[in-house]
Amino acid sequence: MAANVNPVDIKPDLKKAVNGFGSFKVALATVLTVKIVLDLATFFEYPPVVIEELSNAAASSGLLMIRYMEERGQIEPTSIMTLLCALKKMCLSGIEMRVRKLYEEHTGKLCSSDDHSKAQLEGCVVKKEKNDLIKYAKTAYRKHYETAKPFPSMKTCKVNSIFVQGGIYCSAQEGDFMQKPDVLESLDSYNDILSSPKTKSNRKIIEADPGFGKSTLASQIVYDWCTKNPESPLKEVEILIFLQLRQLTGVKSIYTAIRHSIVPEDEDMDDSCIKEILKVYKKSVVMLFDSYDEYPDKNTKTHISSIIEMKMFLDILVIILTRTLNLPPNLHPETKRIRLTGFGVAERRNYVLKAVADDVQLADRIEEQLQHSNKICHFSDRMRS
């Protein structure tokens, strides 16, 4: 979408001929090489069929690109800020300055250089970087939800193919909930953790004994976000930050943690960029911290501890998963506690049948080995990636 910027009237001493927006487009086509055209089309996330058409257009690719940009509002007679933003983000400052000059010469208008215009330009850049971060996150998260292992001897599979919901309860948290037993209220679905009025808070702790499915639940939540599950409360959330805290030894900055966990090593997205993205889009961010009980720096002051204690990112929903009785210290009074209580006979049978693709005889043999335990070796809390 084009930036809503109004150029100011050109200065009276401008000596160049003024021929209008049409002549500017003709001049612009001579600047846009095939490579720049294809890079712009990729930046603007054009459909593959359009990119292929531009690639095949060869010498006329510049004019064709201009047509597509005009149709999408990326260049207009009153504003070319979206195009200038893209060129700047692509590190084509020389081309950006040349295009800016052509626009001024042919239209008789100066592109505004006031604070509003700069803010629009920066906003365009942040939006592109946000989209990049989402793309990196979805790629990184696949290894978590596609490597579920229902039993040690079985092959890996997607978590949604074996996910079974056990008992889920939330605590009333009246009085000093760190000292007194809580009154437990049942939740109908794991989605209620995110959406139920009973659990309304921007800080939520999910606790359970080992093997009761904490990390499996985390992977299912990640899967729902990545696949835009229409039944998930996360379907409208733009950014999900999923961190396995056990892997963050010596990492004090949340921005560094995100970069190390999500951003490919060959990309140039730095900590300051991630910080700006979270600042701008904080209303559409959810953070999911797995394995707090194994967090190596739990006794050190880090951004993670500040976030959990609600000293950072007050407007962002943060969910922390940990073992029972391994709660973080200094929890904010608004923190909601959710407890996973394990699996009954029916849930265990359903899980085993899913794991063995409804092979009843094999399921019977496996259940014989599980009959003395209320734990299912879900996608194990001990899994290392």
Q: Which residue, 240, 239, 220, 225, is CA-closest to 340?
A: 220
Sign of CA dihedral 354, 356, 357, 359: negative
* Same domain, yes or no: 76 and 159: no
The lowest-confidence range among 88-92, 343-347, 376-380 is 376-380
pLDDT confidence of 269, banded at 50, 70, 90?
A: confident
364 Cβ contact list (under 8 Å, min separation 6): none
Q: Is residue 305 part of a domain?
A: yes
* Same domain, yes or no: 38 and 141: no
**Of residues 216 and 175, more confidently modeled:** 216
pLDDT confidence of 319, banded at 50, 70, 90?
A: very high
**Of residues 183 and 272, more confidently modeled:** 272
Q: For residue 155, give its domain range.
A: 131-345
The lowest-confidence range among 170-179, 289-298, 307-316 is 170-179
pLDDT in tens, 237-265: 999 999 999 999 999 999 999 999 999 99
In this predicted structure, the answer to whether residue 73 has a pLDDT above a threshold of 60 is yes
* Same domain, yes or no: 230 and 276: yes
Whole-number pLDDT of residue 358: 58
Residue pair 25/32 in contact (Cβ under 8 Å)? The answer is no
> How many domains does the chain divide into?
2
Q: Is residue 120 part of a domain?
A: no
Whole-number pLDDT of residue 6: 42
Residue pair 382/246 in contact (Cβ under 8 Å)? The answer is no
Whole-number pLDDT of residue 3: 38
Q: Is residue 3 part of a domain?
A: no
62 Cβ contact list (under 8 Å, min separation 6): 28, 29, 30, 31, 32, 33, 37
* Same domain, yes or no: 218 and 73: no
* Same domain, yes or no: 104 and 145: no
Whole-number pLDDT of residue 329: 93
Whole-number pLDDT of residue 297: 96
Mean pLDDT score, 92-119: 79
H helical segments located in 196-284: 214-226, 254-262, 271-280
Q: Is residue 81 part of a domain?
A: yes
User: CA–CA separation, 33 vs 98, rounded Å?
Assistant: 13
* Same domain, yes or no: 229 and 287: yes
Look up the CATH number of the domain holding residue 141.
3.40.50.300
* Same domain, yes or no: 152 and 101: no
Whole-number pLDDT of residue 377: 43
**Of residues 227 and 177, more confidently modeled:** 227
* Same domain, yes or no: 34 and 154: no
176 Cβ contact list (under 8 Å, min separation 6): none
User: CA–CA separation, 48 vs 42, rounded Å?
Assistant: 9
H-helix or E-strand containing 102?
A: helix 93-107
pLDDT confidence of 313, banded at 50, 70, 90?
A: very high
Whole-number pLDDT of residue 165: 78
Whole-number pLDDT of residue 198: 92
* Same domain, yes or no: 185 and 334: yes
Whole-number pLDDT of residue 281: 92
Percent of the chain with pLDDT over 90: 54
Whole-number pLDDT of residue 166: 81
In this predicted structure, the answer to whether residue 216 has a pLDDT above a threshold of 70 is yes
Has this prediction a pTM greater than 0.75?
A: no
